[in-house]
Chains A and B, each alone.
Chain A
Amino acid sequence: MDMKTSSGKKLGLKEKYRHMTRGLDWETSYQKREDVHPLVEYEGIKIHDWDKWEDPFRLTMDAYWKYQSEKERKLYAIIEAYAQNNGHLNVTDARYLNAIKLFLTGISPLEYMAHRGFAMAGRAFPGAGPRVACLMQSLDELRHAQTQIHSLSNYNKYYNGFHDPAHMLQRVWYLSVPRSFFDDAVTAGPFEFMVAIGFSFEYVLTNLLFVPFVSGAAYNGDMGTMTFGFSAQSDEARHMTLGLEIIKFILEQDPDNIPIVQRWIDKWTWRGYRVLTLVGMMMDYMLPKRIMSWKEAWEVYFEQNGGALFKDLARYGIRPPKWLDQISFDKDHISHQAWATFYQYGAIADFHTWSPTEDELDWLSAKYPNSFDKYYRPRLKFWREQAEQGNRFYNKTLPQLCQTCQIPMVFTEPGDPTKICYREVDYQGEKFHFCSDGCKEIFENEPEKYKQSWLPAHQIYQGNCFPEGTDPTAEGFDPVSKVLEYYNIGFGQDNLDFEGSQDQKNFAKWRGMATSNE
């Protein structure tokens, strides 16, 4: 028999939320508080009253399940229809699929890491309000990883390079960039994690990640990607609110928190910006139908929106992140520098690269009048001419990498795009190298952390990137083929130029069958 409650009335949403985030919390009595929440003080952040935390969404668990399951039903109905109708043949061009490979290998595993990170941060906080908010975001991130993998698995039936993103994240050279970014965040303390991912990434930079991919999908006929993007959008709005709330909460709690938070904002804006180089390249080179240039996206989503945000944060004693002058100068350059990198190391990547068409070069000239014709067009034209003569450029020598962001040292001096930017530090008798003042300063603040960086080029040289049982001293040992085997990249399938690839041939053949009588 049900127990009769005193009033017989159900609680309203607001009351439920209040109970969940205030009333159900308790003071520990069997264990000391600092033993239950051992990670909450060592970063130096001081919190005096956790109840000052305000979550504008005030979402309860039952409401959360209801909203999410509705979205889930719609998403899977559309994905199913897309798959049934051979939607993959409606994308603008098979080159587009390489942008989605980049997303699946470089971004989706980070959603999973975000799930873990928010779960850990939630566990670490003594306050029930932020704990609940972290729990929900943790679930969202897990859902995003799942829906992305489900949506994109449809492409894996037809095209190369989609087959093993989780394995590749741990091994493939360029994926050490997004991987180390997130590993850095989840191995920091809970407050730094929240400023790194909750604020700097989700609030300041997320539009630069999701808008290009989701709009890119819409522009290029990719209903699957577009749908998971929209399905995630309402979650993103909540995440942005959480990111802003956490930073205001920390800053209001104690003036001693301000310099710590400022250093994290400087660090994580720079770290995030470096990872977004991949997005810039995707926007400028990999979408057959372009949305806007990287430079335009940066101006809208960072310079305008971010500018307003930091004006708002000034009253808390926070100034805009460091190195913005350099970032502003570099917006004319980084996407071209990144594409050149993937083009030449195209033999060891899991997606295809290609020579842009003449039309595409003209588009880039128009979007980048200060830089493209002067510095980048001659290079791309030379490469295209060489490729047409059967001499396509594949760089076979390993590059020097930045110790902090782990990107090859491709970036140029602030103000001089003809000079590679070299920075170095001697620490405990060893030299460490950096692509920028930002990455160098991040290292100098925590050298013990970054001297452990797993730099792919060095790991190959140390013999750690071959399949188990490989004997590098054996006759005829071919390091490149062994490294590709270790990466699970199929030579001639997943890598090399798009021109002549299986993806190109299959797409043309299947689209021909779908649209003509041949």
Chain B
Amino acid sequence: MSVAAIKEYTFDSADRLENFHGMQVLYVGWEDHLMFCAPFALLFPPETPFQAVIDGALPGAYSYHPDFAKIDWSQVEWFKSGEPWQPKFDQSLTANGLGHKAVVRFRTPGLTGIEGSCS
């Protein structure tokens, strides 16, 4: 069912890809670390290699947390839209199947936040 309306009711999405001037939104969430109250919305060109997301954006977003420096990146578990997933680190967001407004989550085994509270 769509909208009840007195006449035809169709509009463009406010967040369609073309409104972001060549960039796309990528959401990133760190499991078991709810000190960061919500997943982040980040902005990248679609050709950005996945490794550049990790190296370029995550330290600025997450390094306040004492666990961030302890992450063993070879052990990290990745999820795309909630499903287990293996990124190709040297390939672009597009080649990784990460379109506009895709959600990536990562879990860092052994690290569960401040005093193990998932904070």
Q: In the complex, which residues of chain A have a beta carbon less than 8 angstroms from the beta carbon of B35?
A: 340, 344, 379, 382, 393
Q: Indicate if the CB atoms of B38 and A448 lie closer than 8 Å.
A: no
Task: Classify the secondary structure of A's interface with B.
Answer: mixed
Whether A347 sits at the interface, judged by CB under 8 Å, is: no
Q: Indicate if the CB atoms of B103 and A448 lie closer than 8 Å.
A: no
CB distance from A341 to the nearest CB of B (A): 4
Tell me which of B32, B61, B103 contacts A433 (CB under 8 A).
B103
Tell me which of A38, A422, A451 contacts B103 (CB under 8 A).
A422
Whether A90 sits at the interface, judged by CB under 8 Å, is: no
Q: In the complex, which residues of chain A have a beta carbon less than 8 angstroms from the beta carbon of B34?
A: 340, 375, 379, 412, 418, 420
What string of 1s and 0s marks CB contacts (under 8 Å) between B93-119 and chain A?
000000111110100000001110111
Task: Classify the secondary structure of B's interface with A.
Answer: loop
Given A408-B37, A455-B14, A458-B14, A400 contacting B4 (CB threshold 8 A): no
Q: Indicate if the CB atoms of B81 and A344 lie closer than 8 Å.
A: no
How many interface residues does A have (CB within 8 Å)? 56
Whether A424 sits at the interface, judged by CB under 8 Å, is: yes
Q: In the complex, which residues of chain A have a beta carbon less than 8 angstroms from the beta carbon of B32?
A: 418
Q: Which listed segment binds A: B23-31, B45-53, B84-92? A: B23-31
What string of 1s and 0s marks CB contacts (under 8 Å) between B4-39 and chain A?
111001110111110111010101010110111111
Q: Indicate if the CB atoms of B100 and A341 lie closer than 8 Å.
A: no
Q: In the complex, which residues of chain B have a beta carbon less than 8 angstroms from the beta carbon of A420?
A: 29, 34, 38-39
Q: In the complex, which residues of chain A have a beta carbon less than 8 angstroms from the beta carbon of B118?
A: 375, 417-418
Tell me which of A399, A412, A449, A452 contacts B40 (CB under 8 A).
A399
Whether B76 sits at the interface, judged by CB under 8 Å, is: no
Q: In the complex, which residues of chain A have a beta carbon less than 8 angstroms from the beta carbon of B114?
A: 378-379, 382
What string of 1s and 0s marks CB contacts (under 8 Å) between A448-478 and chain B?
1101111101100111000000000000000
Whether B60 sits at the interface, judged by CB under 8 Å, is: yes
List CB contacts (< 8 Å) of A405-423 with chain B: 408-410, 412, 417-420, 422
Whether B2 sits at the interface, judged by CB under 8 Å, is: yes
Closest to B31 in A: A419
Q: In the complex, which residues of chain A have a beta carbon less than 8 angstroms from the beta carbon of B115?
A: 378
Q: Indicate if the CB atoms of B4 and A461 lie closer than 8 Å.
A: no
Q: Indicate if the CB atoms of B29 and A422 lie closer than 8 Å.
A: yes
Cα–Cα, bound, A462→B16 (Å): 10
Q: Indicate if the CB atoms of A449 and B82 lie closer than 8 Å.
A: no
Whether B41 sits at the interface, judged by CB under 8 Å, is: yes
B: which residues have CB within 8 A of A? 1-6, 9-11, 13-17, 19-21, 23, 25, 27, 29, 31-32, 34-43, 60-61, 64, 81-82, 99-103, 105, 113-115, 117-119
- Sample 17 A-B pairs with CB under 8 A, ordered by A number: A38-B6, A340-B37, A344-B35, A376-B117, A379-B117, A379-B119, A395-B37, A398-B40, A400-B29, A422-B105, A431-B102, A433-B27, A446-B1, A448-B3, A448-B11, A452-B13, A461-B23
A: which residues have CB within 8 A of B? 38-39, 42-44, 189, 337, 340-341, 344-345, 374-379, 382, 393, 395-401, 408-410, 412, 417-420, 422, 424, 428, 430-433, 445-449, 451-455, 457-458, 461-463
In the A-B complex, the 4 residue pairs with the closest CB atoms: A379-B119, A399-B38, A408-B38, A418-B118
